[in-house]
Amino acid sequence: MEKRKIIAIVGPTASGKTDWGVSIAKKYQGEIISADSRQVYRQLDIGTGKDLNDYGNVKYHLIDICDPGESFTMFDWLKRARLIIDNLFSRDKTPIIVGGTGLYVQSLVEGFQLVTEKFKVQSSNVKKFKREELEGKTLKELQRICLRLKTDDLQLDFNNPHRVIRAIERAQSGEIVKKKKPDFEVLQIAVDLPREILYRRIDQRVENWFEEGFITEVQELLNFGVDPKWLEKIGLEYRILAEFLLKNQRTEGGINKIEFEEMKARMKFAIHAYARRQLTWFRRFPEIVWCKNLQSARKEIKKFLK
RNA sequence: GCUGGGAUAGCGAAGUGGUCAAACGCAUUAGACUGUAAAUCUAACGGCUUACGCCUUCGUAGGUUCGAGUCCUACUCCCAGCA
């Protein structure tokens, strides 16, 4: 039997991945599976660049599947994505992964497995920490706990609290990191845009958001009781705007124009940096094919599907 | 016109005689990252470069000093107050 084939369109934010994905989906009767860690949330629309009109009559998956405030992780995404892929193949559709959350795409392409080996866990007299407890600790304390657990994670970045917390959790539960080659083949295409154009698109996008009512969107999330801490974790624009709105509420007298412009600038720069991080991520995978335009992407896809 | 304050790397901003190519923040660039990933972390960032090496910098031009971003003089520009 011929190997099943999947197309993935990746790239930095604001690079036009969705348009490419939609165009390809139309051509090959595909359906889109979004690989975007923020578009999974309902009501996070403007700031996630969730433009559902762009899809036309192309079917999409894994967008608007959670409520704000819920937690959603890579493995949540991976499980669902795998189910959808099986379903699409059974209906003879081409799965098209589109998104900028590199880790999600990688987990699917490389076939991440979660195997818990209980016997590895140390005896119960060692105190086990919960995520919330760990989050309250300083880096020094985390490092100490981590060392005590004797993790075998040699590449662990000890300055990175998130990574240290995960290493502790892994050691406590006996999780082992494993991969299993998936039974499908993936062509990964990255949108390759000159840096200045990418930055210009990001800046323009931010301007548009505010015209489209981004402030109202975030204000309503806050009004409806979404935890500001959750918004902070969501990051980038939601973090920056929520912070700004909360501060301006306290000072009353409406929004300070200068502070508003400063906030917007901060937002743009934060997204530039994010795009850079995404590029760094994608560059580490040599199998990714970088395309400067949709035409060359189409050519690659044609070759791949042959 | 007078008086006071100021001019520092792409921007903001420290630095008041030596250890200053110059803190720090921002921007920018590169990198790491398997259950928070739009998160989190690391590094570079005047030039040449393998460099703890050399060269050129702190408005401009001179001066004092063994030594000046730091002191003196003149000039240019900016800001504030007074006329």
Residues A32 and A73 in one domain: yes
Helices (H) and strands (E) in chain A, counts: 12, 8
| Residue scoring higher pLDDT (A125 or A274) | A274
Residue A64 has pLDDT above 70, yes or no: yes
* Cβ-based neighbour number of residue A70 at 10 Å: 12
Window A234-263, strand B contacts by Cβ < 7 Å: 234-239
Q: Stretch A226-237: mean pLDDT, rounded?
A: 92
Confidence category of residue A257, pLDDT binned at 50, 70, 90: confident
Residues A93 and A187 in one domain: yes
Residues A47 and A89 in one domain: yes
Residue A67 CB contacts under 8 Å (≥ 6 apart), including other chains: A41, A42, A43
Q: Can you give the pLDDT at residue A152? A: 63
The whole-number Å distance from A209's CA to B67's C1' is 58
Q: Which long-range contacts (CB under 8 A, 24 or more apart) does A200-205 make?
A: A201/A14, A201/A15, A201/A16, A202/A13, A202/A14, A202/A268, A202/A271, A202/A272, A202/A275, A203/A268, A205/A14, A205/A49
For helices A161-173 and A139-148, angle between their N-to-C axes, nearest 10 degrees? 30
* CB-CB contact of A14 with A40 (8 Å): no
Output the CA torsion A22→A28→A34→A35 (10° steps): -120
pLDDT tens per residue, range A176-213: 888 999 999 999 999 999 999 999 999 999 999 999 99
Judged by C1' against the alpha carbon of A106, the nearest nucleotide is B34
Number of domains in chain A: 3
The whole-number Å distance from A261's CA to B7's C1' is 27
Residues A300 and A200 in one domain: no
Window A22-41, strand B contacts by Cβ < 7 Å: 36-39
The predicted model scores a pTM of 0.91
Tell me the C-alpha distance between A226 and A112, whole Å: 32
| Amino acid in the structure at residue A289 | V
Q: What range does the domain containing A296 cover?
A: 4-113+182-193+283-305
**Location of structure tokens 């599907």:** A305
pLDDT tens per residue, range A79-98: 999 999 999 999 999 999 99
Output the CA torsion A71→A242→A211→A197 (10° steps): -70
Residues A70 and A189 in one domain: yes
| Amino acid in the structure at residue A78 | L
Window A271-300, strand B contacts by Cβ < 7 Å: 272-274, 276-281, 283-284
pLDDT tens per residue, range A19-39: 999 999 999 999 999 999 999
Residues A39 and A106 in one domain: yes
A213 CB contact with strand B at below 7 Å: no
Residues A127 and A234 in one domain: no
A114 CB contact with strand B at below 7 Å: yes
The whole-number Å distance from A124's CA to B1's C1' is 87
Residues A221 and A256 in one domain: yes
Residue A172 has pLDDT above 90, yes or no: no
Q: Can you give the pLDDT at residue A250? A: 65
Residues A166 and A74 in one domain: no
The whole-number Å distance from A201's CA to B10's C1' is 22
* Cβ-based neighbour number of residue A205 at 10 Å: 17
Residue A10 CB contacts under 8 Å (≥ 6 apart), including other chains: A17, A35, A97, A98, A99, A100, A102, A105, A188, A189, A190, A191, A282, A288
Residues A137 and A222 in one domain: no
Q: Stretch A255-272: mean pLDDT, rounded?
A: 91
Residues A126 and A257 in one domain: no
CATH number of the domain residue A222 falls in: 1.10.287
Which chain B nucleotides are covered by protein, judged by CB under 7 A? Answer: 26-42
Q: Can you give the pLDDT at residue A205? A: 96
* CB-CB contact of A142 with A168 (8 Å): yes
CA distances in angstroms from A232 to A42, A102, A117, A224, A252, listed in the order given: 17, 21, 34, 16, 22
Residues A241 and A131 in one domain: no
A165 CB contact with strand B at below 7 Å: yes
CA distances in angstroms from A280 to A13, A78, A194, A201, A237, listed in the order given: 13, 22, 15, 19, 21
Q: Can you give the pLDDT at residue A101? A: 96
The whole-number Å distance from A206's CA to B27's C1' is 18
pLDDT tens per residue, range A115-157: 877 655 655 556 778 888 888 888 888 888 888 876 666 678 8
For residue A43, the SS3 value is coil
A73 CB contact with strand B at below 7 Å: yes
A133 CB contact with strand B at below 7 Å: no
| Residue scoring higher pLDDT (A111 or A146) | A111
* Cβ-based neighbour number of residue A250 at 10 Å: 6
Judged by C1' against the alpha carbon of A40, the nearest nucleotide is B38
The whole-number Å distance from A51's CA to B70's C1' is 58
CATH number of the domain residue A21 falls in: 3.40.50.300
ipTM: 0.89
Confidence category of residue A49, pLDDT binned at 50, 70, 90: very high
